[in-house]
A and B are shown apart, each in its own frame.
Chain A
Amino acid sequence: MLYDIWTVFWRDGIVLRRRLSRFILSRMVAPLLYLVAFGWGLGRSIQVDSGTYLDFLVPGILALNSMNISFNSITPVHAERIYHKSLEEYLLAPIRPDAFVIGKVLAAVLRGLISSTVIVVLAWLFGAHFTPGPLFLAVLTLNCVIFAEIGFLAAMKIDTYEAMSQVNTYILLPMSFLCGTFFSTAALPDAVAAFIDILPLTHTSYLLRGLGSGADVSMLSLLVLVVYAVGGFFWSRHAFRHLTD
């Protein structure tokens, strides 16, 4: 099974290697804009309890960016399934569905982490203060895994490009802004905050912010992310298996 995972990952690795410079450059645009607009611009007039708004903002940007990149890195599987039909190659091969799901998710996680590295470097250049330790990296990875799995599920279940883009519009975009990325969820009405607190990105934002500033973090948040990741894997595997129904 490890060899099959490697094969699936190898394919995505070839494509990434071929487009690496373009990938890194394109991944710099959105975080740069966030850092300039919300860090330098708007951020100068905002004070938060923990220090500067830039320090508050960077973990949020890391959370939302790793979400977007890992989700969008796996969505080409949708075109492979619906338009190019190249997914059939994996359905015909003597490999387990787990291997395909894990290989694809790992490739998306790699892209998410490369993109996060770009943001960390940019944030330091902008003068942000935070310390990314091993648990910080683990949370970031977990976030990539969760949204890669959600992207995989969307690619398995959705039949049109239009509907795929609606996932971005109706799920990822609201989460990008509301899940503790740009402001604390405590500022939201109770009912909205309660709903937002169920979502994985909220827990990633809290964990990254806490871990980056050396504060205590909630183990419950970590558990929530693990539950999302494990549940997402089994659901993705199920969806891939049922392509042959």
Chain B
Amino acid sequence: MADKDMIVVDELVKRFPHKDKEGRDTEKTAVDGLSLSVRRGEVFGLLGPNGAGKTTTIRMMTMQTRPTEGRIFYDGRSTEHSPVDVKRLIGVVPQHVNFDQDLTVGENLELHARLFHMGKEERRERIAELLDFVGLADVVNDGVRRLSGGMKRRLLIVRALIHRPRILFLDEPTVALDPQVRRRIWDLIRQMAHGGVTVFLTTHYIEEAEALCQRVAILDRGRLVALDEPAKLCDRLGRFTVEWDERGERQCQFFAARHEADDFAASLDPEGGILIRPTNLEDVFIARTGRKGGL
């Protein structure tokens, strides 16, 4: 384990009980031997199509689900042997809105602060500071049911930050949000990263990963299929992409150099137009997972 590593995941496996087509009891592997490390202060993205195992991975990493096999370390501390210490280090923004529906915004945040043993004054100041930071100071006494989707998302982030975690997990932080709110949340994530928080996020929005992450891992059917900086993953596939239509389907071919892409494009006789462009993370994703759409 290198000193610069904040999170180390070692051969993580999760199997769930499952019934096969004949109705026999069997097991389904959701995560299969996942190993990765996240550097201190890094924004790390876990990409994958629906059902790839992203949420299961994040649930294991945040100790909401016990791994079937494998180990997880935070700053050298194992989740198995020091769960309470590790929980103090991490903040979690879940994919779904999971506020206590019987409490107000302020009470939800206070409950969190109390669960992390923050003193009365510290709680009061921190809640006020964070609500102000995300522009939600006015709703502190409102019930959480009355908030809009975007406000709830921001509030989830606020709640996860109250106890000053050194690592923040965000599971699909901008799912189903409009572009303005999405950009605002991206800014929030960047500001946290600038403040020294290590960020681990899962997303199926490729542009989100490109906008935020220093490194990304791509998960498919529970297995790690790629891990590197987005630019390096694109370079490895080929820096230039030629796109064209053939038999009603969009085709892609990747090239290391622009002249190779130009030569190839000249040799085509497509039904529609030909596009030569820089390769992006979505190309890598599709090439690695073999799927289009639903990213």
Chain A interface residues (CB < 8 Å from chain B): 3-4, 7, 10-11, 14-15, 18, 76, 80, 84-86, 88-95, 244-245
Chain A residues closer than 8 Å to B94, beta-carbon distance: 85, 88
A7 and B111 contacting across the interface, CB-CB below 8 Å: yes
B66 and A3 contacting across the interface, CB-CB below 8 Å: no
A86 and B98 contacting across the interface, CB-CB below 8 Å: yes
B87 and A11 contacting across the interface, CB-CB below 8 Å: no
| Residue ID in chain A nearest B59 by CB atoms | A244
B100 and A3 contacting across the interface, CB-CB below 8 Å: no
The majority secondary structure among interface residues of chain A is: helix
Partner of B98, one of A10, A85, A245: A85
Chain A residues closer than 8 Å to B87, beta-carbon distance: 92-94
Chain B residues closer than 8 Å to A86, beta-carbon distance: 98-101
Interface positions, chain B 54-91, Cβ under 8 Å from A, are: 62-66, 83-85, 87-88, 90
24 contacts between A and B (CB under 8 A): A4-B115, A10-B114, A11-B100, A11-B103, A11-B107, A11-B111, A14-B102, A14-B103, A18-B102, A76-B102, A80-B100, A89-B112, A89-B115, A92-B64, A92-B92, A93-B112, A93-B116, A94-B84, A94-B87, A95-B115, A244-B64, A244-B65, A245-B65, A245-B66
B115 and A93 contacting across the interface, CB-CB below 8 Å: yes
Chain B residues closer than 8 Å to A4, beta-carbon distance: 115
A76 and B100 alpha carbons, distance in the complex (Å): 11
| Residue ID in chain A nearest B68 by CB atoms | A245
| Residue ID in chain B nearest A95 by CB atoms | B115
Partner of A88, one of B64, B84, B102, B111: B64
Distance (whole angstroms) from the CB of A101 to the closest CB of chain B: 15
B98 and A15 contacting across the interface, CB-CB below 8 Å: no
Q: Is B232 an interface residue (CB 8 A)?
A: no
Chain A residues closer than 8 Å to B114, beta-carbon distance: 3, 7, 10
Chain B residues closer than 8 Å to A85, beta-carbon distance: 94, 96, 98
A14 and B107 contacting across the interface, CB-CB below 8 Å: yes
| Residue ID in chain B nearest A87 by CB atoms | B98
Chain B residues closer than 8 Å to A90, beta-carbon distance: 115
Distance (whole angstroms) from the CB of A74 to the closest CB of chain B: 14
| Residue ID in chain A nearest B117 by CB atoms | A3
Chain B residues closer than 8 Å to A94, beta-carbon distance: 83-85, 87-88, 115-117
A3-B114, A84-B101, A94-B88 known; 9 new pairs, CB 8 Å cut-off, are A3-B117, A11-B100, A14-B103, A15-B102, A18-B102, A91-B64, A92-B92, A93-B87, A94-B115
A86 and B92 alpha carbons, distance in the complex (Å): 13
A93 and B62 alpha carbons, distance in the complex (Å): 10
A243 and B23 alpha carbons, distance in the complex (Å): 25
Interface positions, chain B 82-139, Cβ under 8 Å from A, are: 83-85, 87-88, 90, 92, 94, 96, 98-103, 107, 111-112, 114-117
Distance (whole angstroms) from the CB of B203 to the closest CB of chain A: 20
Query: When A4-B115, A94-B87 are in contact, do A89 and B100 touch as well, CB less than 8 Å?
Result: yes
Query: When A11-B111, A92-B87 are in contact, do A244 and B63 touch as well, CB less than 8 Å?
Result: yes
A4 and B102 alpha carbons, distance in the complex (Å): 19
Chain B residues closer than 8 Å to A3, beta-carbon distance: 114, 117
| Residue ID in chain A nearest B114 by CB atoms | A7
A86 and B62 alpha carbons, distance in the complex (Å): 15
A9 and B51 alpha carbons, distance in the complex (Å): 37
A244 and B66 alpha carbons, distance in the complex (Å): 6
Distance (whole angstroms) from the CB of B167 to the closest CB of chain A: 12
A90 and B90 alpha carbons, distance in the complex (Å): 14
| Residue ID in chain B nearest A15 by CB atoms | B102
A7 and B112 alpha carbons, distance in the complex (Å): 9
B98 and A89 contacting across the interface, CB-CB below 8 Å: yes
A88 and B98 contacting across the interface, CB-CB below 8 Å: yes
Distance (whole angstroms) from the CB of B136 to the closest CB of chain A: 18
Chain A residues closer than 8 Å to B96, beta-carbon distance: 85
Distance (whole angstroms) from the CB of A240 to the closest CB of chain B: 13
| Residue ID in chain A nearest B96 by CB atoms | A85
Partner of B111, one of A89, A244, A245: A89
A114 and B92 alpha carbons, distance in the complex (Å): 37
Distance (whole angstroms) from the CB of A207 to the closest CB of chain B: 34
Chain A residues closer than 8 Å to B63, beta-carbon distance: 91-92, 244
A15 and B107 alpha carbons, distance in the complex (Å): 10
Chain A residues closer than 8 Å to B101, beta-carbon distance: 84, 86
A3 and B114 alpha carbons, distance in the complex (Å): 9
Distance (whole angstroms) from the CB of B233 to the closest CB of chain A: 31
Chain A residues closer than 8 Å to B117, beta-carbon distance: 3, 94
